[in-house]
Structure 1
Amino acid sequence: MPRHPDPQNPQTIEQGNDPIFPTYLPLKVFDNEEFDCRTPSEWINMGLEPGSQDRKPVPGKALLPTDDILGHEDPKSQKLKYEWCSVGVLDYDKEKKLYLVHKTEQRGLVRDEMGKPILNGGITAEGRPPLLTCQYWVPRIQLLFCAEDPRVFTQRVVQANALRKNTEALLLYNLYVDCMPSEGRQLISEQSLNKIKQWAMSTPRMRKGSSVLEHLNSLSKEVNLDYERSMNKINFDQIVSSKPDTFSYVTLPKKEEEKVPRQGEGSWTKGNVRLRLSLRGKWLRRCEGGAPGGETSMCRG
């Protein structure tokens, strides 16, 4: 479970923990709903019995705080401990995609403060009452129904956790690259950049005017920024790859070969969009076929 950072005990790389840094993304974001064998409404309707109009709680286990008071006040507290508790599933929120669960008592029953059974999700003629201290809204990844295969649910949690770990590592990787200094690095020569601008402006039916020049200058800054970042990324990858033991906490992204089409089709009405496509397309063709006059330094990375 994600926790608040502890300023008194910061985690360092030398500790060798896995993961190096505390998790901060909720696991529910990476949940694969394809693992589910029933829809939420089907799970809830399992509490209906033939000949009865009252819907009973559906048995299951949920990952919940052991301290219900602190669990509601601060779910990310460092002092809070989470355990899989026996619960009865009362209801489902379609908008938030959360299940309402109620911790069972010592006898394994779901009872309200008056000791009465909770039926139909606890909803009465007056509406839904306030949550009890033993009730929580939880995502599906924190809820194991007794009627589902626990092995499949385990695979679901493991897959979501692996995806979260990889995503957090790649976010840190991009943060490292973005924080690298760009001053003093090799930039695209003005001569090469001017040629690209000329090629872009020579596009048939391209509008001329001050607004187009403003977009052109903006795109030129974007190209320079992308080039600087690409050079930093190349250097960073080389350093990390050359010293894997030193930078064991850095996860490099997997290299995927992208097939760039020679030409594209589409109906565009905005002049700045045509300019962007023309500028980027001609830059790609120059990188693929080599720049005129042997100028290829701008296509590194």
Structure 2
Amino acid sequence: MPRHYDPDNMPTIKDKKDLLFPIYLPLKIFDNEDYDCRTPEEWISLGLEPGSHDRKPVPGKALLPTDDVFGHEDPKNPKLIYQWIDVGVLDYDKETKLYLVHKTDNGMVRNEEGRPILNGGITPEGRAPLLPCQYWVPRVCLLFLAEDPRVFAQRVVSADNLRKKTQALLLYHLYVDCMPTDGLNSISEKSLQEMSLLAMHIPKLRKEEKRILDCMCCLEKEVRLDYERTMNKINFDRIVTSKPEMFSYVTLPDKEEEKVPEKGMGHSEAVGIQHGYGTSCL
């Protein structure tokens, strides 16, 4: 879905109201289904009336393009305008988790021949091709009139906030990954040797010592790279924290509190784990 910014009021680094960079992640993957008060099947079944075998469209509002031609040909066209439009919900696809909606005409849902659309538009011949006014939409872009609009608004806001945070953290990790490693103190050879010896002391690995040794070189490169990245991450976090106004567009990850064990590991337990014997469950 295209975003329309005011050219005279573009976001800047000093502004903290919105992201400086365009949002490219789809909103539907951040939708929290816990906000829903019914299952998709229950929503669709609201179109069934007592004593009738024909399922009618369920009334709702969907975020759809106003131009149905470009809306199908190029949904991301920057010239498109999206609005919340009255629709009738016809069907639900379990595989794609999308709802089939039909724009209403004076509150009515009609096909090209002017007849009411029943049972999701499925006939004995199968489902007819989509009409220009029909779209498959995710749940976060569909408000059923039978649900609380305030809860739905919270659902959309929650998904949008999670999307912004996710994109900001992706950019954060990109910044760290792009930092040069020249001149950094790499991990010492002594530490690498100690890790290798501890790993090879495990009985299960001793049986495949030759194959493990062949992979050791690649593992050492990975350890070196991870060590250098960690050093860059520490420096990057320190600089961003020391100058929050300059780097206001950078979002740092939430710090997780380390859980302190109730008791330390004894010498005998450490030796047992080192040799692959495990600890006692008594």
TM-score (structure 1 length as normaliser): 0.81
What does the per-residue CA deviation read over 1:33-90, in whole Å, with 9 as the maximum and x for residues that have no partner? 1111111111111111111111110000000001111011111111111100000000
Following the alignment from structure 1 to structure 2, what is the Cα–Cα distance between the partners of residues 237 and 52? 64
Asked if the contact 1:3/1:77 (under 8 Å) is kept, the reply is no
Match of 1:58 in 2: 58
Distance 2:102 2:164 in 1: 30
Which residue in the other structure is 1:94 paired with?
A: 94
Q: Distance in 2 between matches of 1:208 and 1:132?
A: 63
Secondary structure of the corresponding residue to residue 237 of structure 2: helix
Instruction: Give 1:32's aligned residue.
Output: 32
Does 2:200 match 1:201?
A: yes
Q: Which moved further from structure 2: 252-261 or 121-130? A: 252-261
Distance 1:2 1:26 in 2: 11
When structure 1 is superposed on structure 2, of 38-47 and 186-195 the one drifting more is: 186-195
TM-score (norm 2): 0.86
Partner residue in 2 for 1:23: 23
Structure-1 residue corresponding to 2:144: 145
Between the aligned partners of 1:65 and 1:139, the Cα distance in structure 2 is 14
- Partners in 1 of 2:128 and 2:78 — Cα distance? 30
What does 1:210-225 correspond to in 2, within 5 Å? Answer: 210-225=210-225
**Is 1:132–2:131 an aligned residue pair?**
yes
Q: 2:183 corresponds to which residue?
A: 184
Aligned residue for 2:248, secondary structure, equals coil
- The alpha-carbon deviation at position 94 of structure 1 amounts to 0.7
Contact residue 65 and residue 81 of structure 1 kept, 8 A: yes
Matching residue's letter, 1:117: P
How far the C-alpha of 1:202 sits from its partner, in A, is 2.8
Give the count of matched residue pairs: 258
114 and 102 in structure 1: CA distance in 2 versus 1, 3 angstrom threshold? same
AA aligned to 1:104 is: T
Question: Quick check: 1:234 aligned with 2:229?
Answer: no
- Alpha-carbon distance, 1:215 to partner: 2.1
Does structure 1 residue 77 correspond to structure 2 residue 108? no
The whole-number CA distance in structure 2 between the counterparts of 1:215 and 1:241 is: 39
Counterpart of 1:46? 46
Return the letter of the residue paired with 1:250: V
> Deviation at 1:196?
2.2
Distance 1:120 1:208 in 2: 62
C-alpha separation between the residues in 2 aligned to 1:87 and 1:203? 64
Q: CA deviation at 1:208?
A: 5.3
CA distance in 2, matches of 1:76, 1:214: 49
Query: CA offset at residue 221 of structure 1?
Result: 1.2
Give the 3-state SS of the residue equivalent to 2:172 in structure 1: helix
Equivalent pair of 1:59/1:145 in contact (CA under 8 Å): yes
**Which ranges of structure 1 fall in alignment gaps of 5 or more residues?**
5-10, 264-276, 279-301
Residue matched to 2:169: 170
Partner Cα separation in structure 2 for residue 122 and residue 132 of structure 1? 11
What is the identity, as a one-letter code, of the residue corresponding to 2:119?
N
Q: Deviations over 1:2-57 (max 9, x none)?
A: 569xxxxxx88558471111111111101111111111111111111111111110
After TM superposition, give the deviation of residue 193 of structure 1 in Å.
1.6
Relative to structure 1, is the Cα distance of residues 207 and 249 closer, same or farther in structure 2, using a 3 angstrom cutoff?
A: same
Give the Cα–Cα distance (whole angstroms) in 1 for the partners of residues 51 and 76 of structure 2: 44
CA distance in 2 between partners of 1:96 and 1:115 (Å): 29
Say if 1:208 and 1:145 are closer, same or farther in 2 by CA, change over 3 A.
closer
What amino acid is aligned across from residue 191 of structure 2 in structure 1?
A: S
Conserved? CA contact 2:65–2:71, under 8 Å: yes
The amino acid across from 1:222 in the alignment is E
Give the conservation status (yes or no) of the 8 Å contact 1:100–1:137: yes
**SS state of the match for residue 127, structure 2?**
coil
Shift of 1:119: 0.6
- The answer to whether the 8 A contact 1:88-1:110 is kept is yes
Q: CA deviation at 1:192?
A: 2.3
SS in 2 for 1:172: helix
Contact residue 2 and residue 80 of structure 2 kept, 8 A? no
Structure number with higher relative contact order (C-alpha < 8 Å, ≥ 6 residues apart): 2
After TM superposition, the structure 1 = structure 2 runs for residues 268-279 of structure 1, keeping only pairs within 5 Å, are none
Cα shift at 1:244: 0.5
Local SS of the residue matching 1:47: coil
Instruction: For residue 260 of structure 1, report the CA deviation from its aligned partner.
Output: 8.1
- Letter in structure 2 aligned against 1:141: V
| Identical-residue share of aligned pairs (%) | 67
Residue in 2 aligned with 1:122? 121
**Distance in 2 separating the partners of 1:78 and 1:255:** 38
1:199-223, CA deviations, whole angstroms, 9 ceiling, x for partnerless residues?
3223345235431112222221111
Say what the alpha-carbon RMSD is for the aligned residues: 2.2
CA distance in 2, matches of 1:47, 1:109: 14
C-alpha distance after superposition, 1:80-116 (max 9, x if no partner): 11100000000000111000000001x2111111111
